[in-house]
Amino acid sequence: MRSSLADRPPRPVTTPLRLLSEPEGLLQVHTASFRGSCPSVFSQALRSAGLGSRVLISQFLRGGVDQGPQRPVQMCGRLTWLRPQLQSCVMAPGETGASEAVQALWQESRRWLLEGQADLVVLDELGLALAHGLLDEADVVATLSQRPGRMDVILTGPEMPLALMAMADQVTQLRRDRC
């Protein structure tokens, strides 16, 4: 005798497959002994945006366009590019207005990180901003620890604190060959 559907015990409630297969984001560090060494990171960000990911690039020490968090550059419809509101690049700690401009940029980047507004966040020259005392290392570490688990983050800079290196899933160190 066949049993009807009504006679069968109910199936247990399971988590939908899409929740089980959500990707886990990576924290990557790209470091080098020289500035301007990470064009591959920017290529990756541009490719990701072109393929539909939401991307934020924050360049902490690259001014010169007087941009600031209130005037982001939009590319590919999904890439937001931020620089500090400064007339020139930050070359040394203590430059007039540098601390405030870098802090404003960090607050906007921090908001993106905590609210999960991006799939990929690139924090360019973060290590130097920390080394120059323009950002608080404990705040950066805490913020990165609280980001959504699916979010990829890439940190760049010639100097990277050990606390961030320890958090990284992947560390890439670029070197110049001397002939």
Residue 40: predicted pLDDT: 81
Domain count, the chain: 1
Task: Specify if 11 maps to a domain.
Answer: no
Contact (Cβ atoms closer than 8 angstroms) between residue 66 and residue 86: yes
Residue 119: predicted pLDDT: 96
Task: Specify if 121 maps to a domain.
Answer: yes
Please name the residues in contact with 8: beta carbons below 8 A apart, sequence gap of 6 or more: none
* Domain limits for position 91: 24-169
Task: Specify if 14 maps to a domain.
Answer: no
Residue 14: predicted pLDDT: 55
Give me the phi and psi of 176, to 5 degrees please: -95, 130
Taken as a whole, the chain contains a residue count of 179
Task: Specify if 15 maps to a domain.
Answer: no
Residue 1: predicted pLDDT: 54
The DSSP result for 68-121, as a single string, is -TTS-EEETTTEEEE--S-SS---STT-TTHHHHHHHHHHHHHHHHHHT--SEE
Task: Specify if 58 maps to a domain.
Answer: yes
Task: Specify if 3 maps to a domain.
Answer: no
Task: Specify if 178 maps to a domain.
Answer: no
Residue 35: predicted pLDDT: 61
Residue 103: predicted pLDDT: 92
Its pTM stands at: 0.80
Residue 154: predicted pLDDT: 96
Tell me whether strands 152-156 and 120-124 are parallel, antiparallel or unpaired.
parallel
How would you write the pLDDT of the chain (179 residues) with one tens digit per residue?
A: 555 556 666 656 555 555 555 678 999 999 887 666 677 888 889 899 989 999 999 988 776 666 766 766 777 789 998 988 776 556 555 556 677 888 999 999 999 999 999 999 999 989 988 988 999 999 999 999 999 999 999 999 888 999 999 999 999 888 776 65
Task: Specify if 19 maps to a domain.
Answer: no
Three-state DSSP class for residue 5:
helix
- CATH assignment at residue 65: 3.40.50.300
